[in-house]
Amino acid sequence: MTALAIAARAELIRLWHGAQDAAHDLGHIDRVWANAKAIMGDEPGLDAQALQMAVIFHDAVNLPKDAPDRAMASTLSARAAADWLAGQGWGAERIALVVHAVEAHSFSAAIPPRSPEARVLQDADRLEALGAIGLARMFAVTGAMGGALFHAGDPMAQHRPLDDRAYALDHLEVKLFGLAQTMHTATGRAMAEERTEWMFSFRARLLREIGGAASFF
């Protein structure tokens, strides 16, 4: 790890003020960077150091999922990254690469990624929402908001509206099963499709273990 990356991580820890959560901690940052390195070859010519800075700072301001200003989190994180990088002597052009990548990574912000760095970060971060780690984070986040694992009487939402704030399992249909189709890199999409297939298998197994919807009526 470079001296700049070490210093950036230290700044991230300072910005968090000890308020890390199970889904957004240093482990999350490290896994997103691993994902980014795995897929960045699909975007030749990107600035790898700018991408790494974007990865480190992308959740610098982490607002709760149910916060009314949640969509502003990536903009605030980008601002924190820009301020810190300016203090490190970075020029405006490279800072702009980091700022856009951080702003565009957010699903709730709905900002289209216009640069290689932004496309890779968005894909790398969305991969974290899929597969085994994605399921672990999904249940952790819903639990932190006071939600349940699933609706006991209708786990597949056959007779009720989907509500992923109240029931973790609903989040698969509300968001996660569609993420693979939003990927920008070929490698990222292949990884996302494999992880999504595994999540379908997990849900099928869970439904078998709890008896599916039928036994609750």
List pLDDT tens digits, range 58-84. 999 877 666 666 668 889 999 999 999
Tens digit of each residue's pLDDT (9 = 90 or more) over 138-195 = 999 999 889 999 999 999 999 999 999 999 999 999 999 999 999 999 999 999 999 9
Mean pLDDT of the chain: 91
pLDDT-derived band at 109, boundaries 50, 70, 90: confident
The tens digit of pLDDT for each residue in 12-49 reads 999 998 776 777 889 999 999 999 999 999 999 999 99
Return the pLDDT at 215.
Answer: 46
pTM (predicted TM-score): 0.90
pLDDT of residue 62: 79
* CB-CB contact of 55 with 33 (8 Å): yes
The pLDDT of residue 212 is: 54
Would you kindly state where each structural domain of the chain is located, as residue ranges? 1-111, 129-217
CATH of domain 129-217: 1.10.3210.50
Residue 74 CA: distances (Å) to CA of 33, 53, 88, 89, 99: 17, 14, 21, 22, 9
